Amino acid sequence: MRRSNRRGRTGRMEANILHADLDAFYASVEQLLDPALRGKPIAVGGGVVLAASYEAKAFGVRGGMPGRRARELCPGLIFVGGHFKDYQRLGDAAIKVLGDFTPMVERISIDEAFADVAGCTHLFGPPAEIATTIRRRVRAELGLPISVGVARTKHLAKIASQVAKPDGLVVVDPRHELEFLHDLPVELMWGVGPVTRERLAGIGVRTIGELAKTPGWSLERLLGPAAGEKLNALAWNRDPRKLETQRRARSAGAQSALGRKPAEAKIFVPALLHLADRVATRLRAKSRPGRTVTVRVRFADLRSVTRSITLDQPISATATLAEIAEALVRKVLVDHPHEKTISLLAIAVSHLEQQPGLQLELPLDLDDDRRRPGTSKGAARWTADRAIDKIRDRFGWEAVGYASVALGQSRSVPDAFRELAEKEL
């Protein structure tokens, strides 16, 4: 009788984790909706590329790239506006296909998810067969390409799905995991972005195998203790994480790419208020205020600096979050006086609590009681925000908002696109 856990009859761990990832999802949906776009280089967006088809990627076009630069690289590039409701509908439908095989599904974004099929192989066959059936069904029922990686750990399954792209399947034999992993470039690893990749290249580390052989003290000095230790473990495929089918987000955040803008208040204050509005609205919708506020400022050279503060009381008022974020950003700029250009701003709130209402407190003699959620002034802010939330629920996001946001700069990334990337709280 076949065992339902991950060990086979020989005791060897089996590859039962699937990572399914829809290929060039937003662009593929646009080509699905308009057959005239199929086989052509397209980009979703305008001022900024939100997503690109594989035909466009062949010219070097990438998500987050300014539209002007994308057109320079690919003169025949076709820009489309984006059908956000269709993205959500088709993304949900694709994840539902995985759920038809196993309840052990962990969705990590609109277009990708993990699935543990150890408990259903007696019904649907080996993991590779299940992955093949999933790919066939998504193509037949939705008309979309999907790549799947199958491996023993989440990290390796995700890497395998990237290697499988476009529209492929890669199954990693547990007996040859390190042979498969160590020849791959480090940027395929979870947590290795452009900045980390360049830092690693600076010490001669370009493959995962080279990373695995790098002394731990060297990685810790370069990347910090936590990041260095984590990447070293993943380079040896040490990843004990289990699937979290009921996972709740531990934080809520939003970011805005600014291009190259002066590090001036007239630029960052409206941007921070808009980000705070998006984050705080989500916190209030789920009654999950948070106590730790973190900001990230990225400069022109793509170097990022973060600052955070942990409060005595959890907050979810937009104005309060914006003011705290502004103070943190000003501190970053004071600490880096030579940086005159900002390319990105981000706000995150963590240490979330479940709090259906406000806990009133005695008004202490503080410089600004408005920032304390339980004081009369703090409660007034929260009440005003709840009134805005109700209007938006009924008439849409643009029906009402903060004046400084409305009068601020136009946003190149639509809010509907940002919402698709937000984790459920």
Question: How far apart, in whole angstroms, are the C-alpha atoms of residue 396 and residue 53?
Answer: 30
Instruction: Using pLDDT thresholds of 50, 70 and 90, give the confidence band for residue 297.
Output: very high
Question: How far apart, in whole angstroms, are the C-alpha atoms of residue 190 and residue 108?
Answer: 13
In percent, the amount of the chain with pLDDT more than 90 equals 56
pLDDT at residue 4 in the model: 34
Question: How far apart, in whole angstroms, are the C-alpha atoms of residue 117 and residue 157?
Answer: 13
pLDDT at residue 135 in the model: 97
pLDDT one-digit tens code per residue, 377-391: 656 676 777 677 777
Question: How far apart, in whole angstroms, are the C-alpha atoms of residue 326 and residue 265?
Answer: 9
Residue 237 in this model has a pLDDT that exceeds 50: yes
Instruction: Using pLDDT thresholds of 50, 70 and 90, give the confidence band for residue 50.
Output: confident
Question: How far apart, in whole angstroms, are the C-alpha atoms of residue 362 and residue 315?
Answer: 16
pLDDT at residue 354 in the model: 78
111 annotated as ligand-binding = yes
Residue 119 in this model has a pLDDT that exceeds 60: yes
Residue 45 in this model has a pLDDT that exceeds 70: yes
23 and 57 Cβ atoms separated by less than 8 Å = no
Residue 7 in this model has a pLDDT that exceeds 60: no
Among 279-288, 337-346, 367-376, which stretch is predicted with the lowest mean pLDDT? Answer: 367-376
pLDDT at residue 377 in the model: 62
pLDDT one-digit tens code per residue, 78-94: 999 888 889 999 999 99
State whether the Cα torsion 408-411-414-415 is positive or negative. Answer: negative
Residue ranges of E strands in 46-135: 49-52, 78-80, 105-109, 112-116
Contacts of 212 (CB under 8 A, 6+ apart): 178, 182, 232, 235, 236
pLDDT at residue 140 in the model: 97
Instruction: Using pLDDT thresholds of 50, 70 and 90, give the confidence band for residue 366.
Output: very low
347 and 321 Cβ atoms separated by less than 8 Å = yes
Q: List the catalytic residue out of 55, 112, 177, 323.
A: 112
Going by C-alpha positions, the residue among 400, 399, 381, 403 that lies closest to residue 280 is 381
Instruction: Using pLDDT thresholds of 50, 70 and 90, give the confidence band for residue 8.
Output: very low
pLDDT mean across residues, the chain: 85
What domains, with CATH codes, occur in the chain?
Answer: 17-171 (3.30.70.270), 176-236 (1.10.150.20), 251-420 (3.30.1490.100)
Instruction: Using pLDDT thresholds of 50, 70 and 90, give the confidence band for residue 38.
Output: very high
Distance of CA 118 to the CA centre of its chain: 27
14 is catalytic: no
Residue 364 in this model has a pLDDT that exceeds 60: no
21 annotated as ligand-binding = yes
Phi and psi for 280 in degrees, rounded to 5? -65, -35
Strand partners, 7: 13
Instruction: Using pLDDT thresholds of 50, 70 and 90, give the confidence band for residue 171.
Output: very high
Residue 374 in this model has a pLDDT that exceeds 70: no
Pairing of strands 105-109, 78-80: unpaired
* Residue type at 314 in one-letter notation: P
pLDDT at residue 194 in the model: 80
146 and 138 Cβ atoms separated by less than 8 Å = yes
Is the bond into 126 cis (omega within 30 degrees of 0)? no
Residue 251 in this model has a pLDDT that exceeds 90: no
What number is the average pLDDT over the span 169-191? Answer: 94
Residue 181 in this model has a pLDDT that exceeds 90: yes
